[in-house]
Structure 1
Amino acid sequence: MELVDLYDENRIPLGRTAERYAPKKPGEYRTVVHVCIFAPDGRMLIQQRTSCKVIWPDRWDVSAAGGVDAGEDSRMAAERECREELGYSLDLTGVRATLSVNFSQGFDDFFLVERDLDLASLNLQPEEVAQVRWATLEEAEAMAADGCFIPYPEGFLRFLFSMRGKFGFPTK
């Protein structure tokens, strides 16, 4: 059972936890992280979720994502998700989420970083990730239009790509 910390609508901790997928009471929210790893040439590392995933099986998504466990902050969860899903040790020391988006059950924190990764060096988590590849904005948008990508709001992938390089881009 995965536990998550609960927050109010202002993201103030409520001092209690709940099971990750259990229904939340009104005014209870959780946090999710997404990591978008961009290559120096502007392509984004994307991953295809396995067919056994309960939510969005076989769909493509950003580089890594997952729930923030109880006791973690977003940065810690983003680093953990990269280690677990990609076998990649991402150091986000001193890095804040590039953007946060509200969703019906909580808060989505997106970390946008640039790394020159060799895909062959990644160790994919077989229960979570079927495959990874680099994609241009045009390729990701075409995949979204075809229903192959997780259905982010229209224009959101373009927004993520446009945020690349804004506000000091972590490249360490």
Structure 2
Amino acid sequence: MEYWDLYDVHRVKVDRTVQRGQALQQGQYHMVVHICIFNSDGEMLIQQRQPFKEGWPNMWDISAGGSAVAGETSQLAAQRELFEEIGYEYDFQNIRPHFTVNFERGFDDYYLIFEDVPLHTLTLQYEEVKNVKWASMGQISEMIQNGEFIPYYESFIQLLFQNRKQRGTVQR
């Protein structure tokens, strides 16, 4: 059973949790993280969700992401999600999110990493990830148009690509 910490509109943690799947009340928010890995060829590492995965089955998505569980900071959630989903270790301890997107039920922190990750070194989480590959901005836009990629706004995907080498992007 997974529990999420709850936050107020100012992103201050309140002394309550909610079980995943339960409806959030007005004024309650939870934290989500996404990690985008870019390589030196200007491509983003994308993952294909398993066909039996609830929510967007068999569709392609950005590198990794998910909800922070109770007790986690944004950084710990990013580190856990990245390792769980694709077996890639990265220390986010002293890193802030590149930006945060507010959505109806919470805060979504985005971390941008610039690193050439060899695909053969990744270990995919069977329960969630079917496949990974590198894709250009144009390829991802085409996949969105063809209904193969989670329907992000194409302008949002462009924002991710345009910011991949800007100040705040993590590089080792």
Q: Same fold (TM over 0.5)?
A: yes
Report the Cα distance in structure 1 between the residues aligned to 2:70 and 2:33, rounded to whole angstroms.
Answer: 13
Aligned to 2:80: 80
The count of aligned residue pairs is 172
CA positional deviation for 1:55 = 0.9
RMSD: 0.9
Q: Which residues of 2 match residues 80-159 of structure 1 at below 5 A?
A: 80-159=80-159
CA positional deviation for 1:158 = 0.6
Report the Cα distance in structure 2 between the residues aligned to 1:48 and 1:166, rounded to whole angstroms.
Answer: 27
Q: In the superposition, relative to structure 1, how do residues 117 and 154 fare at CA in structure 2: closer, same or farther (>3 Å)? A: closer
Moved over 4 A (4+): none
Question: Is residue 169 of structure 1 aligned with residue 169 of structure 2?
Answer: yes
SS state at 2:171 partner: coil
Aligned to 1:10: 10
CA positional deviation for 1:154 = 3.7
Report the Cα distance in structure 2 between the residues aligned to 1:153 and 1:30, rounded to whole angstroms.
Answer: 22
93-102 or 133-142: which moved more? 93-102
Report if the CA contact (8 A) 2:51-2:57 is conserved.
Answer: yes
Aligned to 1:40: 40
SS state at 1:83 partner: helix
Query: Normalised by the size of structure 2, how large is the TM-score?
Result: 0.97
Report the Cα distance in structure 1 between the residues aligned to 2:168 and 2:106, rounded to whole angstroms.
Answer: 26
Query: Normalised by the size of structure 1, how large is the TM-score?
Result: 0.97
The runs of 5 or more residues in structure 2 that have no matched partner are: none
Report the Cα distance in structure 1 between the residues aligned to 2:60 and 2:154, rounded to whole angstroms.
Answer: 15
Report the Cα distance in structure 2 between the residues aligned to 1:69 and 1:152, rounded to whole angstroms.
Answer: 24
Question: Is residue 50 of structure 1 aligned with residue 70 of structure 2?
Answer: no
